Amino acid sequence: DSGVTQTPKHLITATGQRVTLRCSPRSGDLSVYWYQQSLDQGLQFLIQYYNGEERAKGNILERFSAQQFPDLHSELNLSSLELGDSALYFCASRREASTDTQYFGPGTRLTVL
Amino acid sequence: AQTVTQSQPEMSVQEAETVTLSCTYDTSESDYYLFWYKQPPSRQMILVIRQEAYKQQNATENRFSVNFQKAAKSFSLKISDSQLGDAAMYFCAYRSLTGNQFYFGTGTSLTVIP
Quote the CA–CA distance of B7 and A81 in Å, as a whole number: 33
Residue A14 in contact with residue A85, Cβ under 8 Å?
A: no
Q: Is A70 on the interface with B (CB under 8 A)?
A: no
Please name the member of A55, A98, A107 whose beta carbon is closest to the beta carbon of B43.
A107
pLDDT over threshold 80, residue B110 = yes
Which tens digit of pLDDT belongs to each residue from B7-41? 999 999 999 999 999 999 999 988 899 999 999 99
Which tens digit of pLDDT belongs to each residue from A46-94? 999 999 999 999 889 999 999 999 999 999 999 999 999 999 999 999 9
Higher pLDDT, A97 or B33: B33
Count Cβ–Cβ pairs < 8 Å, chain A vs chain B: 50
Kindly tell me the sign of the dihedral angle through the C-alpha atoms of B81, B62, B73, B37.
Answer: positive
Query: By three-state DSSP, how is residue B41 classified?
Result: coil
Quote the CA–CA distance of B15 and B110 in Å, as a whole number: 12
Contact state of B102 with A103 under an 8 Å Cβ cutoff: no
Q: Is A58 on the interface with B (CB under 8 A)?
A: yes
